[in-house]
Amino acid sequence: MVKNQILIVEDDEIIANIISQMLEKRGYSIAGCTPSGEDAIMKSAALQPDLVLMDIKLSGLMDGVTAARFIFQLFFCPIIFLTAMCDDTLLEQAKSAQPLGFILKPFTDRDLVSNVELALYNHAIRKKYLGNYPIGDPKKIMIAMDAIFILDTKGRIIFFNPYAARFIDLPEDQILMSYWRDVMMLINDQTDEQLEDPVPDVVSHNLSIIHEYNTAIVTKPGRRWKVNIVVQPLMDEKNVLFGILMHIREKTRSEIKMSKKF
């Protein structure tokens, strides 16, 4: 029997180890552990866990509620929140991630396991009605030969696929949570003039912006790529903007020849 894989997002190493031991004793497998919300998004895409246990208060630049919302909306991973305190405001914020459990610290192994079992059961029913992934199948995104970036509504990079890392040629910690223009620049390939930042229009008007002709990307290390780029809004089930998809594809030789005619 295949063990359910669980990702633990907890910035207290002692608590993370205790949770791991509790779950492993009950037959679960630990897919990974991370102390930060931004890394949790990356790990959720790469590891595709069956469940994410998410502490609300985390180290790093992103809190657990924000990370959980991205993880659920992008990858449909079920979420259980862990927290040392709970109030009405926190509960209201947490709803955006559609969690399937809420565990107050301190907790027993029975509290933990019963919440995990119920969440996995309920998600197995819920996922039949979730529809299509907003950015496509995560497995295909991870092996795509195009650069895929997800931005938050402030234009900061909160996810990128492996090809995007090679495309940008920077380490992960210099990409995650950086404003996209701090790692690459969108220019007119003929004039070298910097093109207008598409993010404000996408956020303000929910527009999709496409650049197909005479377009290039110059990365922070100085690499230059002739590209097609699509920047489009990502909407949740209530039609509320939660992020931005930036899809960059390197042009083929035939496309480059064609673009010179325009």
All structural domains of the chain: 5-129 (3.40.50.2300), 139-259 (3.30.450.20)
Distance CA 101, CA 174 (A): 33
**Phi and psi angles of residue 27, each rounded to the nearest 5 degrees, phi first:** 95, 5
| 262 pLDDT more than 70 | no
Q: Distance between the two ends of the chain, CA-based, in angstroms?
A: 59
**Each residue's pLDDT tens digit, 119-150:** 999 999 998 888 889 899 999 999 999 999 99
Distance CA 63, CA 58 (A): 6
Confidence class of residue 260 from pLDDT cuts 50, 70 and 90? low
Q: What pLDDT does residue 1 have?
A: 57
Q: What pLDDT does residue 130 have?
A: 82
* Cα 112 to the center of its chain, rounded Å: 25
Q: Which of 190, 228, 213, 216 is nearest to 259 (CA)?
A: 213
For residues 96 and 192, the model is more confident at: 192
Distance CA 248, CA 54 (A): 31
- pTM tops 0.85, yes or no: yes
Structure tokens that stand for 184 in this block: 């690459």
Q: What pLDDT does residue 167 have?
A: 93
| 34 pLDDT more than 70 | yes
| 89 pLDDT more than 90 | no
Q: Which of 242, 42, 66 is nearest to 7 (CA)?
A: 42
How many CA atoms within 13 Å lie on the side-chain side of 108? 3
What's the mean pLDDT in 158-178?
A: 95
Determine which of 20-24, 62-66, 136-140, 256-260 has the lowest per-residue pLDDT on average.
Answer: 256-260
